[in-house]
Structure 1
Amino acid sequence: MVRVFGEVAALYDDVRPGYPEAVREMIEDYGGAPESIVELGAGTGKGTELLVGLGAPLTALEPDPRMAAVLRAKFPTVEVLETTFEGWQPYGEPGLIACAMAWHWMDAGTRNRKAFDALAPGGTVALFQHKFAYADRAQDRAITEVLTEIDPKVADRGDHWVRDDVTAAGLWADVEERRLTTYPVYPKQRYLELLQTFSPFLRHTPDQQRRALDGVGAALDSFGGSVTLELRTSLVLGRKKA
C-alpha cells in the first residue's frame, strides 16, 4: 500500500492541501535551526515544501518512483532517495527527522527507535499531519453514510494517535503536540478528486470507487455543490537528549 499513491501522483500533488507556514515556525521554535534534515515518506513534497524553508540540506525518502519523480521535479536541490524508512541506511546524524502524513506507513514496531537512533544528540523529531473532517455536521453525516456503506471497516485513528505513539515509545524527551484548524472550501469536482487520493478509496474495486464518487457527488449536490472541510493539523515534537 505504501506505493499505491504513485498511481495518482499528479492528482495527489494537485489536490492534497499543503501545510500552514505556522507549522514550520513551530518546528523552528521548538528545536532551532537544524544543520540537516531527513524527511520520511515525502510523497510529492507537501511536507517538503515546508521543510525547505528551514534552510538546511534536506534528504527526502520516498519509495514510489512515480511520487519521487514529482518530488525531484519540484525540488531539484533536495536529495531524493527511493527507499522505505525501514530500508534506509543512515549516514551522518540529522538534526531534524520529519514526517508529513506518513508516520502510519512506517513499521509501528521500529519507527520510533530507528528515528531516535538516527538523530543527532539534541535533535528533533517532527511529525505533522492533517485529519480531514467537515465543518458542517450534516455534510459530515451524509458523506460518512455513503462511504461507510461501501466500506464499513474504514479505520479512524483518532486525533491524538501520533502523540500517543511517540509518548508510548518511552524514548523522547519534551514531547509536545501543537494543533491548528483551517476551513478550506472544496467545490464538488475538486473534492471528488481529493477523495481519489486516499488509500481507502484506492484499495477498492473500480465499481466501488464509482459508487463512492456518485454517492458523494449526489450528497454534495444536495448541499449546494461544495464542502467546507475542517482541516485539523497536528504537529508532534520530541527531542533526543544530548
Structure 2
Amino acid sequence: MTHGDPRLSFDRAVDAYDEARPTYPVALFEDLFALLPPAPSVLEVGPGTGKATRDLLARGAFVHAVEIGPMMAARLRSNLPPDRLRVVVGDFEQVGAAQLEITPGTCDAVFSATAYHWISPSAQTDRPAELLRPGGLVAIVDLIQVAAPDDDGFFAAIEPIHQRYGQGHRGPPAPARDEVDPPMRRALDRDERYGAVSVRCYDWDQTYTAARYRQLMMSYSGTQQLAEPQRTALLDEVATCIDDQFGGTVTRPLVVTLTTAALRRPEVPQKRRG
C-alpha cells in the first residue's frame, strides 16, 4: 500500500462516493442469502462507505469488512451500527486472518461489491480458498455499464470530452444487456477448487441530474488522480453538456451481476476392501 496506490484515491472523495454511488437491488441480496446459512459469517472486501454492507447486516450477517482506505473505513463505521460489524483497515491481499478475526476455513462467504477488480487475479481465488469453509461461497458483485438506447447517446457525446483530458474509454466496448459476462465468472470456471459457478443479472439503470453526475464522476479514481485545474474543467464540461444537450438529466444504463461459486469439499478417500 503506497502513496501512489490508486485505491487510496477514493479517500479523497468520501462524501461524493457516499452520496452518488448507487446501492444494489433487493433481489440480489434475496438471491445471495438463499445460498447462505442463517446469520452467516461474511468477509466483505472493499466495502467503501457501506453501500452493500447495510444490506448484509440487515439480513443478519456478521460482517468482517476489510477496507484499504482509512477515511472510507471511518465513514463506514459512522454510517452503520457496530453490532455484527468488524472493520479492518488494510489490504485484503495482505491482512492476516487473525486481524480479520476469522479462523481460516470457517467463513461462510467472501463478498465484494464493485471492488474486487482491484484485487490481483491470483488473490481473487487464492485468498477465499484459505478463508472459506468447505462449501463456502465466493460472491462478487459487478456494476457493468451496457450499450443501450436508454442513454440517448450521452456517453458517445461526452467521450471526446474525456479524451481531451486523457480520460477516454479504454478496453473493449460496453456489452449489450444480454451479453454481460463478468470476468470473475471465467476466473472461477477455470479454478478446480470451485464449483457451482453461477451468474445472476439485474437491470439497474441510474438517472442523474448534471450536479449528481458530477458527484458520481468525483467518486471515480481516474477523476481524483487528474490534476487541477484539468479535473474541474473536465467536470464543468460534462455538466454543461448534460444541461445544454440533454435537458439536465441523463440515464446510465447498467446491469448488476452477482457471480457466485462454492469452494469444493475435499474428497474423502475410499476405504480399500479386503
Paired with 1:152 and 1:184, the residues of 2 have a C-alpha distance of 21
Gap change, CA 1:162 and 1:143, over 3 Å in 2: farther
1:69 aligns to what?
A: 74
2:154 aligns to what?
A: 139
| Pairing 1:43–2:48 present | yes
CA contact (8 A) 2:200 2:257 kept: yes
1:180 aligns to what?
A: 202
Gaps of 5+ in 1: none
2:227 aligns to what?
A: 205
| Pairing 1:82–2:105 present | no
How do 1:223-242 residues align onto structure 2 when only pairs under 5 Å count? 223-242=246-265
Gaps of 5+ in 2: 1-5, 175-179, 266-274
Offset at residue 152 of structure 1 (A): 5.5
Gap change, CA 1:170 and 1:211, over 3 Å in 2: farther
Greater Cα radius of gyration, structure 1 or 2: 2
2:8 aligns to what?
A: 3
1:109 aligns to what?
A: 122
Paired with 2:122 and 2:91, the residues of 1 have a C-alpha distance of 15
Bigger shift: residues 131-140 or 19-28:
131-140
Gap change, CA 1:196 and 1:88, over 3 Å in 2: same
Paired with 2:171 and 2:260, the residues of 1 have a C-alpha distance of 22
Gap change, CA 1:152 and 1:183, over 3 Å in 2: closer
Offset at residue 232 of structure 1 (A): 1.4
**Cα deviation digits, residues 145-172 of structure 1 (max 9, x gap):** 3213322664347642222233233431
* SS of equivalent to 1:173: strand
Paired with 1:236 and 1:88, the residues of 2 have a C-alpha distance of 24
| Pairing 1:219–2:234 present | no
Offset at residue 128 of structure 1 (A): 0.3
- With the length of structure 1 as denominator, give the TM-score of the two structures: 0.92
Gap change, CA 1:151 and 1:166, over 3 Å in 2: farther
Runs of 4+ in 1 over 6 A off after TM superposition: none
Gap change, CA 1:153 and 1:146, over 3 Å in 2: closer
RMSD: 1.9
| One-letter identity of the residue aligned with 1:212 | L
Offset at residue 212 of structure 1 (A): 1.6
Which of 208, 214, 227 is the matching residue for 1:192? 214
CA contact (8 A) 1:154 1:200 kept: no
* SS of equivalent to 1:42: coil
- With the length of structure 2 as denominator, give the TM-score of the two structures: 0.82
| Pairing 1:148–2:167 present | no
2:188 aligns to what?
A: 166
Q: Size of the alignment, in residue pairs?
A: 242
CA contact (8 A) 2:159 2:168 kept: no
Which of 48, 58, 61 is the matching residue for 1:56? 61
- Identity among equivalent positions (%) equals 27
Paired with 2:88 and 2:39, the residues of 1 have a C-alpha distance of 20
